[in-house]
Amino acid sequence: MSTYLVEFIIADFGFVENMTASGIPHRIYAQSGQLNRTDYPLWFGTNTLDFFESYFNVPYTLAKLDEVAIPDFVSGGMEHWGVITYRESNLLYDDMHSSTYNKERVAMIIGHEIVHQWWGNLVTCDWWNDLWLNEGSARWLQQIVADTFNPEFEAYNIFISSYLLGVLDVDATVNSRPVYVAPSAVEHPDEITAIFDDVVYSKGASMLRYLENLLGASVYRDGLEGLLKGLAFKTMVTDDYWDYMSRASGKDVKTMMDPWTLQMGYPVIDVTRDPKDRLKVTLRQERFLLNPDADLSTEQFPSPFNYTWDIYIEYITSDNPHTPYRVHMKMGEEVRLDWPDVEWVKLNYGFTTFCRVNYELQDWLRLSQLLVDDHTALAPSDRVNLLSDAFALAEARRLDYGVPLNMTRYLDREDHYVPWHGVYRRLADISTLLYYRPDYDLLRRYIVAKVDPSFQKLGWDVVGTHLEKRLRPDLIELACWHGDAECIRVATDLFTSWLEAEAYLHPDVRNLVYKYGMIAVGGTDEWEIMWQRYKSEINAQERINLMYGLANSRMPWVLQRYLILAWDLNNVRMQDYWTVLGYIADNPVGRPIVWDYYRANWDSFVERFTLNDRTFGRFIQIVTASFTTDFHLQQMLDFYAQHPDAGAGELPRRQALETVQGNIAWLQRNEADIIDWLHLYGNS
């Protein structure tokens, strides 16, 4: 057993217990006052243990499995062998005080950690450079078990919105890194800590999602079974994984997958029609970067494949929208195809290949018109794929911003969470970058107009399917943040009722009521009431909601007080400290306050958290993410020069710089075009 998996717990906790089908005792431990919140995790965890014994066809090897809710815990969860530890907010759940998102997250984290009992514990990576296999596998397989026992989650679609979209942006920068790195790059503890990031977890999972789609689910599962049986109680490296997948499939998996794991980044596939015969197309691949002017000299990981990939990608047509055709693009080679004479062709079916696709303008217009005419002709995964690609390509100057903006005109008829969440991210980013610009009101009005029909349909009452409940907070956030008067009125009324009579608020909307109530009517007295309720609250999920509400005061002196109070561990647990600072930094009034506080108190942070703390290391990305001026960029450079030792924050520092440089360039390139479009089409 790896030493990092050893765990002893001494605690005055109670427990509830269940038995798996194979007779394994499964317990949930928590503080005695929290045991009433263990029914769902006990049910889900027991079923998950049964599921993976069957899925892997390998018995669970220990005599019991305990899952423990820790009041102050640095990670979301940790897979110690036979005893899994969690933050309380990631293990405990009840219908009255936990949100729809909380239920989904509890299931995903439990699934993730129980996967590790086989994948990471029974078979352990030889060294940390193969961490992606450990964490990427667990993140992908957690979707499979969640879909089995909570199909209403639509886990395969949720994977796109929760993980794929974000890491595509991260990996389109010159300061990304490969999912696999050389052993020599992860020798120091700071280097080990730093690689627990989105590339390992979300790109790693995306690579395995891609591989499972290529091989087929049953063949993929057979490969996992073979590896677990062949290497039980042993260590593995990435090539072992490819070997067992090759045995199961009869394919050269290493050749297929090495370009995706040994080099950072990913391709954009350009689709070009022959001007003499429009039904003949050429597919070409090229490395995709969000900022085409990025400084390539800052790259730390040279490509062994010259940024080319072995690509399998599928497409559908208007005549066959549910039967994909597969295309193989070998590294560095163009592919010529005869496309059928149909209304539209859509590449990257199901959004399963880790890439962007860029069409000629007439094909973008056809697909955009399809969304307007009948968006349900495409699955939610394909709709979010089109929206995400169009916005990313526009940001990279490969496409006019009019294309993705025209696509958003259909949104008043969109009712699925995943496409909405994908475009929510893009609209929120644009809104943040234009927030201090003179024509920002044009964007606000347009977003409210697009959101309003769906928002009116769902309303504030938390009813409907799981994904309708997941969509509601996104729509409320977009509507209230961009000035929808009715949205703000309802939030304020609910907030006032909660302040005066502690009226019950559904957990799905509670944090937004706190936020917009605090913005609208939150004075010093209201803040103090919320602070006292936070101090007396024992439910970890509700404490997070209250932390969020407190951070949205628009009074600078109150936010300064909050920063001082948060430093006291009697007020804010160490696990939550950077969450609180991130919430305050997300407040336009709080952002400059936190930036100054972060720089002024650097030595105190290092003393408490150490430079090895990855959450501390990544905070620079959060506090600077919306900077858009050369002045702020110079402040960052001066700060880096003053404190050159960043520890686990070395890569996040470079990524933060690249983000701010990209923000500055984005405004220079795109602000005028977006404002012109809003003048022309903002009321349509």
Active-site residue flag, 17: no
- Whole-Å CA distances, 605 to 323, 348, 602, 648, 651: 55, 45, 5, 13, 18
Q: Report d(CA 141, CA 56) in Å as an integer.
A: 11
Contact at 8 Å (CB) between 451 and 479? Answer: yes
Q: Are 129 and 90 in contact (CB under 8 A)?
A: no
List the structure tokens of 153.
């989650």
CA distance 193 to 196: 6
CB atoms within 10 A of CB 101: 17
CB within 8 Å of 318: residues ≥ 6 apart: 342, 343, 344, 345, 370, 377
| Cα–Cα dist 472/478, whole Å | 10
Candidates 67, 113, 154, 191; catalytic one: 113
CA distances from 656 to 582, 621, 660 (A): 15, 5, 6
Joined together, the tokens standing for residue 37 give: 């919140």
Residue type, 608: R
CB 328 within 8 A of CB 351: no
In whole angstroms, what is the distance from residue 103 CA to residue 153 CA? 10
Distance of alpha carbon 125 from its chain centroid, rounded? 25
Contact between residue 169 and residue 227 where contact means Cβ atoms under 8 Å apart: no
Closest CA to 110 of 204, 25, 43, 36: 43
Helices of type H across 347-397: 361-374, 380-395
What is the C-alpha separation between 264 and 287, in angstroms, rounded?
Answer: 10
Q: Mind telling me the catalytic residues? A: 113
